[in-house]
Amino acid sequence: MNAKVLRPGALAGQGHPNYLTMSEPQHESSRSGRFLFLRLLWGNLWVHPLRSGLSAAAIALQVFLILLIVGLTSGVLSDWRARAEGVGADIIVQPPNSSIFFSFSSAVIPESMAAQIEKLPGVQEVAPVFIVMDVKYLGVIYGIDFQRFNGLSSGFTFLFGGPFTGPNDAIADDLAASGRNLMVGSPVTLMNHEFNLRGVVMHGKGARFFVPLKTAQDIAGAENRVSMIYVRSKGDTEGLRSELVKRFPTYRIRSTAEYMSLMTSTSLPELTPFINSFVGLGIVISFLVVLLTMYTLVLERRREIGVLKAIGSSRLEICGLIVGEAMLLVLLGVILGLASTYGVTAVLHRTSPTLQIDIESMWILRAILVAIGGAVAGATYPALRAARSDPVEALACE
């Protein structure tokens, strides 16, 4: 028994031969049938390559936006967690109502408070820090007492150079130095003040740049004031934190472990609506793009659909054909979206080493599901319209 399979677009006036004739015995394997079905889908989309390409690109844009925005958010939070942990402190003392992002903490803590904390039993080291945000390069600058800050952990790991030797010396981490092409001895402008780069250290110690505490205070006009105080305990961290809370009830005092638990997107309610907005935008993009594309295809191929129904194709098979084409668009869009995301991420890592992007596999799956959900929703109406079409009326259309 021979079966004639329509070549896509032939009856829509595309200039192709009317039929792609294949001799298939009734016992043809399901694998061959699936291959033929996929070939039919590819052919249908290839009739209008520009339109299909733009549709796939729109779906790719949705995948790209979700992954890049969430990746940037997750990367920033992961970077902050790693840098906070790398300082080596057990407890962080901040001003009242301060942000968990240190760069937004005001310098309102009296520096003398560090001396008071240092006298408490159970304290091993205390390091007051003056924090400034480098708006131009989106980096954090710490004004530190080198010896005390270095004593919070095993110390800085110097890749080049060494510690401060004067009030106008600065230290950069390796990512900041790479991003700005800095070497030891190079001049570097921080806080609208020129410093001499004295050393380059391994990243992960809280900030991108470090300058002497007194110099930072003088430049900012915040004499004897600091932004926060790092505290390292002798072992009983929770006991020391409780004591600090009693002595300084108006200050925000957290253990580093508590701070780390807060640095997740689920712990920051402000981020949830932001991320959900992009997910919703992705669904809308997929829905509208697929709806427009599939509806147009159905209108253009009324005769072809009528022939398929006339030779015995069921409504379910017609719906499957339309939804299958939509899924093929999603496949192309997802591949292009993932390639674009990782390509842009690689470029950003090279051009902006301090910009951290963390693309999680869970969000890749979510982005794909969002694309599929939007595409299925968009293809539903065109598929039902095609399935309900009258073959007699369809065959009468030119």
Quick: pLDDT tens for 179-234. Answer: 888 999 989 988 888 999 999 999 888 889 999 999 999 988 888 899 999 999 98
Strand partners, 5: 20
Helices (H), the chain: 30-46, 49-87, 112-118, 146-150, 174-179, 213-220, 237-247, 256-262, 271-300, 302-310, 315-351, 361-388, 391-396
**pLDDT over 90 for what percent of the chain?**
25
pLDDT at position 25: 45
253-303: per-residue pLDDT in tens?
A: 988 888 777 766 655 656 677 777 777 877 887 788 888 877 777 766 666
- Residues 234/118, Cβ–Cβ less than 8 Å: no
| Amino acid identity for residue 80 in this structure | W
Rounded Cα gap, residues 247 and 362, in angstroms: 44
| Token pair in block for residue 112 | 């003398």
Q: What single string gives the DSSP state of each residue in 355-373?
A: ------HHHHHHHHHHHHH
pLDDT at position 30: 52
Domain boundaries in the chain? 3-73+271-396, 91-234
Rg (CA), the chain: 31
pLDDT at position 9: 41
